[in-house]
Structure 1
Amino acid sequence: MGYLPPPTGKWQLVCLTLTNSVSLAHFGYDQGIFAGALISPDFIATFPETKDPAVSGITSSCFSLGAFFGCLASFLLGDRLGRKKAIYAGLTMNVVGVVLQVAGYHLPQMIVGRLLNGFGMGVISSTCPVFVAEASPSHIRGKLVVLGSLCNTVGFCVANWMNYAFFDDNGPFQWRFPLAFQLVFSAIVAVILPVTVESPRWLLMQGRLHEAQVVLARLRGTEHDLDDTKLNDELRSIQKALQDEQEARVSIGDTLLGRDSLRNLHRLVLSCGTQLMQQFSAVNALSYYLPTLLIESVGVSSAYARLLAGANASLYLGAAFICLVLIDRVGRRRLMMYGSVGTGSCYLVAAITLREADLHPEQKAGLGKATVAMFFLYYFCYGTSFAKVPWVYNSEINSLGWRVRGAAAATATNWMSGFVIVQFTKVGVDNLGWAFYLLFAGFCWSYLPIVFLFYPETSHRTLEDMDEIFKRCGSLLVFRDTALTQRSRPQALVEAEQRRIREASAGTPV
């Protein structure tokens, strides 16, 4: 592709969004595809140790453990490498991990492959949303980040239907080919990434002002007019915010003790909190084990369980498209609060129907259908709320100097929480039965007051607005301040941006 002119304007945003979207589709695909492998007769024969629920749990959840360490690597090295190099590093680890899994005949090799695959995905999943957020105009930032997360759902949907397509093939092809298909996602990213630009905000943070100006011009479609007023006003606003941030910067120790004016620890906790809420709504408990749960808890056949999982994934995909429409219109806070009530209620009803099925075996078929309906409705509520909002939120809320660190910490929280949930779901269902779902109902309902009290709105704000929000707000509680909770951009933030532009113009012009 070297002979083609590099894309500019909207096409550059398309390339960035595709990089993010295909990478997160790979993440979603892995969440869905391993569920089919776990119930494949040849997989069980090849790895008989997985008949033990604890071993089955670690084989699934070690992907999340690897991703946790990938996020830690991104936290430590992300700002040194830059956004593109970090994605290249994650991509390489992904490929090595997939090859080891596909060629695996011994459980240690499979686990190492999943750990490496997860490590690469941890790096990519903590970098890509930040990359897109830093390059996107504020009025479409939420949609572009959600589009990437939506493709996570596309990958999950493709994986579930692939599991169903191969349900009657009891040989190694049934699970080795679906695992190998992950290489398609890596190949697409490897083709697109070279023609994307680096993040202009990262370039500014490295002191590469002219490169940042050129890159931002390519992103905004004004590469032939570097003197464009809108372009340079945006650059000055970012530059001034970065300068203010550097002047206010304190040591990591002081930051972690809450002694900085930008309140990076507070923002870090909020971004990690969204991912903790996402995982403890137990989506991965259903993602990895839905066919198993349908077979063991509801009593359907293996083929029907795969069909239901595929249909559920399609509903989940539809919900993700609805979230794409709602994310900027409704705002982040309202979607999370709605998701709390909706997902918690679904788990409560599912627990009740499963309990009634235990007490009244003659009604198990009808009650089983009601349970399946609750799982489907859960995915709709989750898909229109917590499936997407946390990825947007943690790419927005942190300051520039802490954006990759914050996203990495939040994503690490996601992966570690996912590891815990996946590791203990099978054991929990086996030991607690219907009561296990009551735990998740309680978790989900607790998010409503947490979001209402503590989470400021981030929609329709520029990334630099986040610094202003946390400079002005001295309290942890935000619900009393309409400027912090309204969907539209407050006038005070508009005025602060104009002030930054004036101050930057009076200082060192671009």
Structure 2
Amino acid sequence: MVLHDEYKGSLNSPAPSSSEDTNQRAAANLDDPSKIYSFMGQSGKTLSWFVSVIAGVGFLLFGYDQGVMGSLLTQDTFRHTFPEIDTVDDGSKSTYQGFVVAVYEVGCLVGALFTMWYGDKVGRRKTIFTGCCVMIVGAIIQAAAYSTGQLIAGRIIAGLGNGMNTSTVPVWQSECAKPDQRGKLVMIQGSLIACGIMISYWIDFAFYFIHWSSASWRFPIAFQIIFPVIIVPVILKLPESPRWLLKVGKVQDAIKVFSALEGVPANDPYVQRELEEVETAIAKEETGPNVTTKRKFRELFRQGPQRNFHRVCLAFWNQVFQQITGINLITYYAGTIFQQYIGMSPLNSRILAACNGTEYFMASWLAFFTIEHFGRRKLMIFGALGQAFTMAILTGTNWAADPANKDNSGAGIAAAVFLFVFNSFFAVGWLGMTWLYPAEITPLSIRGMTNGLSTAANWAFNFMVVMITPVAFENIGAYTYTIFAAINLCLVPAVFFLYPETSGRTLEEMDVIFEMSDPWKPWEAVHNANTLPHEYKNGQFMDVEKAEASHTENVGVFQENHSSV
């Protein structure tokens, strides 16, 4: 079977002549079409890496906020300031403690949902700018808190800002990156989440030695302000997403951004090709039968030619999967687990928590070096299998490491080791993946809204895990790990049968892959992704006609699927 002409054309990106003429006129109207544009004096790879670093600072903040509370919960002055959530002396307060810790996720959820409207209205950069400003306010309120109510308010406000950032930064990064760099650049963000967690653990450990002072918990919470302070003065000077600019009709600005990101003149054929390909995708989305519902929430729940609902479901559940692995059982409560449930001393618990965060950060770099070689699917499956295995082992080791049993040192050490092992599997397979994958599979017209919705799902299930963890440990103890072992095992077939590979694909190629798929046979997207020739390889555009000729027997086209909506 051969590739249908319609999809062949999509891969070759032949923009409508009117669009091509418009782009050429826009380029000609620039002050100097032969100029290589720049932002903050940077262009090409240097600018791309600079964008990634600044975006990554936002994820440093995200990671820091996730990890900072874990060891503070057992800090003396923290417990005396907020006795309502002190479970060291009274285990019955575990539910309220879980709520206070998890209420941050409620703010994140609301912030992510708000981005569904605000993000597409003002652009990616301004959304990140706003999110950082909101987070600064929330951090100040938390650090200055003298009551549990103030602490809750500060955590909700900080969560609002973080929800805006986490639903926007991956989209901004993906839309500014080339296909062969996109995975690595976003994996850096995953590593920086782990780096933020590591920093928070070590700061908590350092301030443990002044546990008689409220600075032992106020400074670690206030320290997070440094990260948004770095972002705020810089973010608006960096390039906006060129795809968002084209979506809102700012063609000349998009040309400048493409020129700067690639490091070529504005009239370079590469810039024209990028413009034509993106505008072709936009034209498809805007001239379809659902044009009147564009930018409306119900568009997310319609299939249409672009298979919107199918793609929204994949993005939504990809984020949910990350949370139900059980990672935040460890991230938020590492110090508490080591001290209260494995039976280690307060000092040793903090040392182990800090070392756990450090190993987590180091392991996360494996994904950076393997993401484009092995692809998204293999890493997710590898991570889920490893996580299921380690959670099963943790059930036994934690059951044996009962603090009431004085002869439990061997089991306690084994339990601590496998907490490290779990983090390693998660860092490779799931840490950065769910911040990359949803932005790769959704069409431009609903990308911002979908990422907001999927990120909200992440925070909703994050809240659930963080909320129930203290209660679960209090009631069923080590068998808490058994639940997560079973869940992780279920993720393997879900990824294998339903999630298509996106490695090396342009964002517009993914549109074609889903358009070819029958909405009632979601596994066909996986087959199409495996057989459709790549348009882009090793940093260069391929001759798709030649690629098709060499894959004629493998590439199937489902013409009847395209006609069924």
Q: Same fold (TM over 0.5)?
A: yes
C-alpha distance in 2 between matches for 1:295 and 1:491: 51
| Residue 142 of structure 1, CA deviation | 0.6
The residue aligned with 1:64 is 105
Give the Å deviation of 1:248.
2.1
Matches within 5 A, 1:19-98: 19-51=54-86, 52-98=93-139
Q: Indicate if the aligned counterparts of 1:248 and 1:262 stay in contact, CA closer than 8 A.
A: no
Name the CA distance, whole Å, in 2 between partners of 1:82 and 1:479. Answer: 33
Find the aligned partners of 1:306 and 1:439 in 2 and give their Cα distance. 26
Equivalence for 2:559: none
Q: Contact between 2:131 and 2:164, CA under 8 Å: does it hold in 1?
A: yes
Q: How far did 1:491 drift? A: 9.1
- Tell me, yes or no, if structure 1 residue 341 matches structure 2 residue 385: yes
Provide, for residues 289-310 of structure 1, a one-character-per-residue CA deviation record: whole Å limited to 9, x for no partner.
Answer: 1111111211101110110011
**Equivalent position of 1:398 in the other structure:** 442
Structure 1 CA distance, aligned partners of 2:468 and 2:371? 32
Cα distance in 2 for partners of 1:482, 1:150 equals: 30
- In the TM superposition, what is the alpha-carbon distance from 1:78 to its structure 2 partner? 1.1
Question: 1:9, 1:137 → 2: CA distance?
Answer: 11
TM-score relative to the length of structure 2? 0.84
Structure 2: how far apart are the matches of 1:163 and 1:257?
Answer: 44
Tell whether the 8 Å contact from 1:23 to 1:124 is kept in structure 2 after alignment. Answer: yes
The aligned residue for residue 480 of structure 2 is 436
Deviation at 1:6, TM superposition (A): 3.5
Cα deviation, 1:109-140, whole Å, max 9, x if unaligned, reads 11111100010000011001100100111110
Q: 1:290 matched to which residue of 2?
A: 334
User: How far apart are the structure 2 equivalents of 1:200 and 1:491?
Assistant: 19
Instruction: Find the partner of 1:151 among 168, 171, 192.
Output: 192
Matched, 1:198 2:240: yes
Report the equivalent of 2:523.
Answer: 478
Q: Return the alpha-carbon distance in structure 1 between the equivalents of residues 78 and 98 of structure 2.
A: 15
Q: What is the rounded CA distance, in whole Å, between the counterparts of 1:297 and 1:488 in structure 2? A: 52
Task: Tell me if the contact between 1:94 and 1:186 (Cα under 8 Å) persists in the aligned partners.
Answer: yes
How far, CA to CA, are the matches of 2:321 and 2:216 in structure 1? 34
Unaligned runs of 5+ in 1: 500-510
Please identify the structure whose Cα radius of gyration is greater: 2
The Cα shift of 1:425 comes to 0.2
The one-letter amino acid paired with 1:450 is A
Could you tell me how far apart the structure 1 residues matched to 2:336 and 2:187 are?
Answer: 29
The residue aligned with 1:502 is none
Per the alignment, residue 176 of structure 1 pairs with 218
2: CA distance, partners of 1:72 / 1:54: 26
Separation in structure 1 between the aligned mates of residue 195 and residue 262 of structure 2, nearest angstrom:
28
1:422 aligned to 443, 454, 466, which one? 466
In structure 2, C-alpha distance between the alignment counterparts of 1:187 and 1:193, rounded to whole Å: 11
Aligned to 1:504: none
Go from structure 1 to structure 2 and tell me whether the alpha carbon gap of 1:305 and 1:204 turns closer, same or farther (over 3 Å shift): same
TM-score by length of 1: 0.92
Distance 2:460 2:127 in 1: 20
Distance 1:242 1:54, change over 3 A: same
**Correspondences of 1:359-378 after superposition (within 5 Å):** 361=405, 363-378=407-422
Q: Which amino acid aligns with 1:23?
A: G
Please report the RMSD computed on the Cα atoms of aligned residues, expressed in angstroms. Answer: 2.3
Partner of 2:49: 14
2:271 is equivalent to residue 231 of structure 1: yes
Which residue does the alignment assign to 2:554?
none
CA deviations over 1:474-505 (Å, ceiling 9, x no partner): 15443795442479837999677999xxxxxx
Do the aligned partners of 1:255 and 1:263 also contact (CA within 8 Å) in 2?
no
For the residues of structure 2 that align with 1:124 and 1:117, how far apart are their CA atoms? 11
Aligned length: 494
In the alignment, what sits opposite 2:452?
408
Structure 2: any 5+ residue segments left out of the alignment?
Answer: 1-38, 87-92, 548-565
Question: Cα distance, 1:355 vs. partner?
Answer: 2.5
1:308 aligned partner:
352
Decide whether aligned partners of structure 1 residues 348 and 457 sit closer, same or farther in structure 2, where only a CA change above 3 A counts.
same
CA distance in 2, matches of 1:242, 1:313: 42
User: 1:137 — aligned with what?
Assistant: 178
Judging changes above 3 Å, is the alpha-carbon distance between structure 1 residues 249 and 391 closer, same or farther for their aligned structure 2 residues? farther
1:123 aligns with 2:164: yes
Amino acid at match of 2:368: L
**Any idea what the Cα deviations from partners look like across 1:306-364, whole Å, max 9, x if unmatched?**
10011111111111111111111110000111111100110101101223345993641
Do the aligned partners of residues 357 and 193 (structure 1) sit closer, same or farther apart at CA in structure 2, a change above 3 Å counting?
Answer: closer
Identity of aligned residues (%): 30
1:503 corresponds to: none
Alpha carbons of structure 1 residues 201 and 491: separation in structure 2 relative to 1, 3 Å: closer
**For the structure 1 residues 479 and 375, does the alpha-carbon distance in structure 2 shift closer, same or farther, using more than 3 Å as the test?**
farther
Aligned to 1:217: 259
Amino acid across the alignment from 1:423: M
